[in-house]
């Protein structure tokens, strides 16, 4: 079982929400993360422009992590977009590449760039 103390850490930025994701995203916690992420995004209401999911400290992610990202992006308000931050050399970056998610969701290796997009 995967344990995490603080699955998401929202940052309050105008029109943007930055969430730091847990060290592992898999079948044990992905279903729990979805409502947390959507709640943080929903707190911005119609002002939400960009939701940044920060995966830099995520060392493991399976297909449930990919599904989580897809579910989030399809449930955001119209006009809001998802951006990911991930280390290109890490497991998470590789999973994003192998599954083709990088084609659908922009992935940055720099948080400032993702927030500015």
Domain ranges in the chain are 13-116
Other CB atoms closer than 10 Å to residue 33's CB: what's the count? 22
pTM, whole model, 2 decimals?
0.87
pLDDT tens for 23-52 read: 999 999 999 999 999 999 998 888 999 999
DSSP-derived 3-state class of residue 43? coil
pLDDT tens for 40-92 read: 999 888 899 999 999 999 999 999 999 999 999 999 999 999 999 999 888 99
- Superfamily of domain covering 13-116: STAS domain (3.30.750.24)
């Amino acid at each position: 079982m995967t344990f995490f103390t603080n699955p998401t850490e929202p940052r309050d930025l105008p029109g943007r929400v930055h969430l730091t994701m847990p060290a592992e995203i898999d079948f044990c916690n992905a279903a729990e993360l979805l409502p947390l992420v959507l709640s943080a995004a929903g707190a911005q209401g119609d002002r939400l422009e960009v939701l940044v999911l920060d995966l830099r400290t995520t060392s493991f992610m399976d297909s449930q992590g990919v599904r989580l990202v897809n579910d989030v992006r399809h449930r955001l308000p119209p006009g809001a977009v998802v951006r990911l931050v991930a280390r290109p050399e890490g497991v998470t970056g590789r999973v994003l590449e192998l599954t083709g998610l990088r084609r659908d969701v922009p992935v940055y290796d720099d948080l400032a760039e993702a927030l500015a997009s």
